[in-house]
Amino acid sequence: MLEFLLEEKDFIEPTQVCVWIQPNSNFCGTNLSEIKLPEKCFMLGILREGKVILATENPVIYAGDRILAIAIHSMMAPCLKATLKRTHPVYYSLNTCSLDEQPLSIKKA
């Protein structure tokens, strides 16, 4: 049934999606082209510091970026958003490691 709706030319209404990249995003530090998108969805680029970086430049994704993508059929937009919003369950940064911040104190019994 999904294929029928996606192939129906008169029913197609593209939807643009803009997703803010959180510090614990699965995509921080990866290239834009490495993200596997749902069917009929495509990358447009990244919005960073008020400038658009096109997907053809294959930029590295950083926290605070906004990923711009398009779902050719509006029905796929929620799936596209969910894909781009994937995060790690625990906050971490490639620049800092919470294990380095405090020494581990081991008490002997």
- Cα(46)–Cα(37) distance, rounded to whole angstroms? 15
Give the Cα separation of 99 and 37 in Å (integer): 34
Considering the domain boundaries, does residue 1 fall inside one? no
- Answer yes or no: is 7 within a domain: no
Instruction: Tell me if 101 is assigned to some domain.
Output: no
Find the radius of gyration of the CA atoms of the chain: 19
> What is the tens place of the pLDDT at every residue in 20-38?
999 889 999 999 999 999 9
Mean pLDDT of 42-63: 96
Q: In this predicted model, what pLDDT tens digit does every residue of 69-92 receive, in sequence order?
A: 999 999 999 999 999 999 887 655
In a domain, 52, yes or no: yes
Residue 82 in any domain: the answer is yes
The rounded distance, in Å, linking the Cα atoms of 101 and 93 is 13
Please report whether residue 100 resides in a domain. no
CATH code of the domain in which 51 resides? 3.30.70.1450
The CA distance from 76 to 9, in Å, is 15
Number of domains in the chain: 1
